[in-house]
Structure 1
Amino acid sequence: MKIRLVLCGSVAALSVCAGTVAAAPAPDGTRAAPVAETSPASGLDPVELKSAVDGVHRAGIPGVYAEVRDTGRTWRGASGVADVRTGRPVTPGMRQRVGSITKTFTAAAIMQQVEQGRVRLDAPIGDYLPRLVPGERGRKITVRMLLNHTSGIPDYVRYAFPSLQDMSPKSLDDNRFRQFRPAELIEMGVDAPPAGEPGATPGVYSNTNYLLLGQLLEQVTGTTAEEYITRNVIERAGLRHTGFPAGTRIEGPHSRMYEALWGVLDPPRDYSVYNMSWTGTGAALVSTMDDLNRFYRRLLDGRIVNRSSLAQMQHTLPVVALDGSTIEYGLGLHKVGIPGCGTFWGHDGTVWGASTMSLTRADGKRQMSVAGNLARWNKADSSGKPQHHPIDDALSTLYRQAMCGKGNTQAKNASQTPAFNS
């Protein structure tokens, strides 16, 4: 049985990869974490938000936690457990591997270099990295094409984790402590059959693009991409709990991470200890929901890159996500339109056992960041198609409540709602 591989991927319109992760029910008797509630006058409904978070836990995610902001007011809540063995509860401030949300940080770093004149968006990547993207291809593919996934370079993950094509977790276990070099992962993508012609639309989402952007950062700054992003994006945004992992473990309070692999792993397996060199500047960051909301608010305020750069980042094209759906993707940013609620910008991310979504309304006043400690909960049928799961519906309810609030009839009746991906 074959299944479409969806990892470190992208929000699909407003039904992001619903059908890419599978869950076992959480154990009985788990405790919900305390909730920091706000006044109903803030536009947030603490009771409805808490009910929605509890609903996601009851549907099958062992632990879920979120932060929702509205016009300067904040609600934080959590439900379920961080450890299914001990019953340790999740809390709203826990750190999380946030997967492809990392791409927005990497894109912002590249745009800073564009502002300084060290990188040209429409310059061929071969001008900077001729050994990694050689020949005619390197002359056709531009920096912009890497940022918006129109390079035609396919994703490398299926080659780094070959057993996934046969629905086996062997590669996940084999690579747990493996140290990958960015160049070897990039070579896997560059040497694979092209996903399309450079510049053609719709583009095709590929993690290879963002590893190349990390190497570009190193080429033009003379330091590692992780160091540059830390100093010039993370610290500029005032984030206190965000960073690239120094080893295989997450520092600070965090949950275990349970991977179901479309029902192959039953019960789901803990992959919270993992060498994240397999994804680097594409999806390796660790953060908190508070930090993610702070980052996207400041990015959209023009405090991480200038307004001209932000406008470039928000120029979207159709891109085929790793789940086969088509999304609106800019330069490291998704555009998500919700009927009756407005336009939101952000990203989602999934790595082994962890799923995260962060979206901010265009005016910056309404924000939502949600994390769960389960990935790929939708079991696949005999044809390899992931099947609908109650978690999908519960997440849709939570997202609608978090982004649109109580009483928004048009939003409640919308046929599409976001879900975890990557």
Structure 2
Amino acid sequence: MPRTASLLAAVLLAGVVAGPSALPAAATPPDRAPAHLAAQHRNPALAAAIAGLPGADATAALVRVGGDEGVWRGSSGVHDLRTGRPADPGARFRAGSVTKVFTAAVALQLASEGRLDLDRSARSYLPELIPASYGGVTVRQLLNHTHGIPAPDFPGTTVEEVYAHRFRVHDAEDMVRSATSKKPEFAPGEKQHYLNIGYTIAGLLIERVTGDSYEHQVARRVLKPLGLRDTYFPGTNPRIIGPHNHGYQTMRLDDGTVGLRDVSVWGATDAWAAGDIISTTADLERFTSALFQGRVVHGPLLEELFTLPEVTDFRSGKPAAYSVGLSMKVLGGREVWGKTGGRWGYNAAIASTRDGSRTLVYSVNSTDAKGQDMNKVAENIMVAVYGRP
């Protein structure tokens, strides 16, 4: 099925795209918080984590903390560097790999309906696309990154080169062909290597077993039932529809100097079912709560989200950290499950304790969202909410 045409219209017809709801900022005494900071309840650690924006690491941050242990809402920074007006706390943003949680949820729903078998080979569903050399890869291995399929080839190696190709439209099937034309990184199920390609194939599997577009299936099964009206898939449109805070990336500029370039307009077809979703902190908080309460994935299959494969990481040799859809870290002495995401100019995350007692959603307009290390502002937010590793 060709993936070059925009599928935004299908999502619009599903009735899930609407203008972002206005989220009024709660008043904060000026002597208690930096400029542009708004929070419903005082939390000095969180306020400090997002203070001083824009700065070297980020230009804006939006945070929502929920659960039985307390609620906090905060925003800091600017909508854009040109005007310097305060960041919009209800803004849409690119959530990157948080998309994988939506993809995994739909795959698990289909598995519960008997339409997708997690232990069956992906090739048995897509025999014309997946070669025999990858015939042993199962659906579950796609979803928990133990498949051994390498990444496809993309143009450019530096951020400047990638930026030059930002409007290029990538076809999902072509990406799979590029990846599977190479030798496996390891035998299926032996290691774990976090890559997008498994979820690109998962998106195609969803389309094959439903006879419907991936986007419409997520809209029908997750977005519409949960009322996530500000969440949508951009298709081939490189712009964020509706109010959004601008994203910036440090790179070499046209005059040869290094500085910040506005990268808010950037195509995401290279990520598709692995990382192209656009959302808000309010929508992602609603999704996170519903997911951890078992209202998105039901019954025994819910445990797939919280089961780590007993293998080691392909690169580091450390124990696997990714389940189906989520990842796990021990923070402040307890397990925290969630998913981070990064698109140029934007870092995002959803997280929760297993019992849902403390949830977190953030969007950070990072100045190096694809950097090797976690963005400092995002890291400080995580530590303020859950504690240190």
Give TM class, smaller chain: 0.7 to 0.9
Residue of structure 2 in register with 1:315 after alignment? 307
Q: Deviations 1:359-399 (Å, cap 9, x if unpaired)?
A: 111111211111111243798xxxxxx6x79x63x543322
Q: Which stretch of the first structure deviates more once superposed, 219-228 or 232-241? A: 232-241
**Residue identity (%):** 32
Query: Aligned partner of 2:43: which letter?
Result: P
Other structure's SS at 2:51 match: helix
Q: 1:339 to 1:328 in 2, by over 3 A?
A: same
Contact kept? 1:102, 1:281, Cα under 8 Å = yes
Other structure's SS at 2:76 match: strand
Q: 2:331 aligns with which of 332, 338, 346?
A: 338
Displacement of 1:297 in angstroms is: 1.1
Query: Is residue 2:164 matched to residue 1:173?
Result: yes
Q: For residues 55 and 71 of structure 1, what CA distance do their matches in structure 2 show?
A: 29
Contact kept? 2:122, 2:139, Cα under 8 Å = yes
Query: Aligned partner of 2:338: which letter?
Result: G
Residue of structure 1 in register with 2:234 after alignment? 245
Query: Is residue 2:222 matched to residue 1:214?
Result: no
Residue of structure 2 in register with 1:143 after alignment? 139
Query: Is residue 2:39 matched to residue 1:33?
Result: no
Other structure's SS at 1:267 match: strand
Other structure's SS at 2:44 match: helix
Displacement of 1:222 in angstroms is: 0.8
Q: For residues 201 and 317 of structure 2, what CA distance do their matches in structure 1 show?
A: 23
Q: Deviations 1:159-208 (Å, cap 9, x if unpaired)?
A: 213x21xx35223222x22221111111121123322111112x111111
Q: 1:378 to 1:349 in 2, by over 3 A?
A: closer
Residue of structure 2 in register with 1:382 after alignment? none
Residue of structure 2 in register with 1:101 after alignment? 98
Residue of structure 2 in register with 1:229 after alignment? 218
Displacement of 1:146 in angstroms is: 0.2
Displacement of 1:242 in angstroms is: 1.0
When normalised by structure 1's length, the TM-score is 0.77
Q: 2:297 aligns with which of 298, 305, 324?
A: 305
The within-5 A match list for 1:11-410 is 32-38=35-41, 45-54=42-51, 57-58=54-55, 60-71=57-68, 73-138=70-135, 140-156=136-152, 159-161=153-155, 163-164=156-157, 167=158, 169-174=160-165, 176-201=166-191, 203-246=192-235, 247-260=237-250, 266-317=258-309, 318=311, 320=313, 327-340=320-333, 342-376=334-368, 392=376, 394-403=377-386
Other structure's SS at 2:321 match: strand
Q: 1:33 to 1:245 in 2, by over 3 A?
A: farther
Q: 1:355 to 1:327 in 2, by over 3 A?
A: farther
User: What is the number of residues matched between the two proteins?
Assistant: 352
Other structure's SS at 2:39 match: coil
Q: For residues 325 and 284 of structure 1, what CA distance do their matches in structure 2 show?
A: 28
Contact kept? 1:62, 1:81, Cα under 8 Å = yes
Q: For residues 324 and 73 of structure 1, what CA distance do their matches in structure 2 show?
A: 37
Q: Deviations 1:68-107 (Å, cap 9, x if unpaired)?
A: 1132743211111121122132122211100000001000
Displacement of 1:48 in angstroms is: 3.2
Displacement of 1:267 in angstroms is: 1.1
Q: Deviations 1:258-279 (Å, cap 9, x if unpaired)?
A: 1226999821222211222111
Contact kept? 1:82, 1:373, Cα under 8 Å = no
Q: Deviations 1:1-31 (Å, cap 9, x if unpaired)?
A: xxxxxxxxxxxxxxxxxxxxxxxxxxxxxx8
Other structure's SS at 2:63 match: strand
Query: Aligned partner of 2:39: which letter?
Result: A
Displacement of 1:137 in angstroms is: 1.7
Q: Deviations 1:334-364 (Å, cap 9, x if unpaired)?
A: 1122133x22211000011211121111111
Q: For residues 183 and 104 of structure 2, what CA distance do their matches in structure 1 show?
A: 25
Q: Unaligned stretches of 5+ in structure 1?
A: 1-30, 39-44, 380-385, 404-410, 417-422
Q: Deviations 1:19-55 (Å, cap 9, x if unpaired)?
A: xxxxxxxxxxxx84341313xxxxxx43332222115
Query: Aligned partner of 2:328: which letter?
Result: K
Other structure's SS at 1:65 match: strand
Give the structure with the larger helix fraction.
1
Q: 1:168 to 1:100 in 2, by over 3 A?
A: closer
Displacement of 1:238 in angstroms is: 2.6
Q: Unaligned stretches of 5+ in structure 2?
A: 1-33
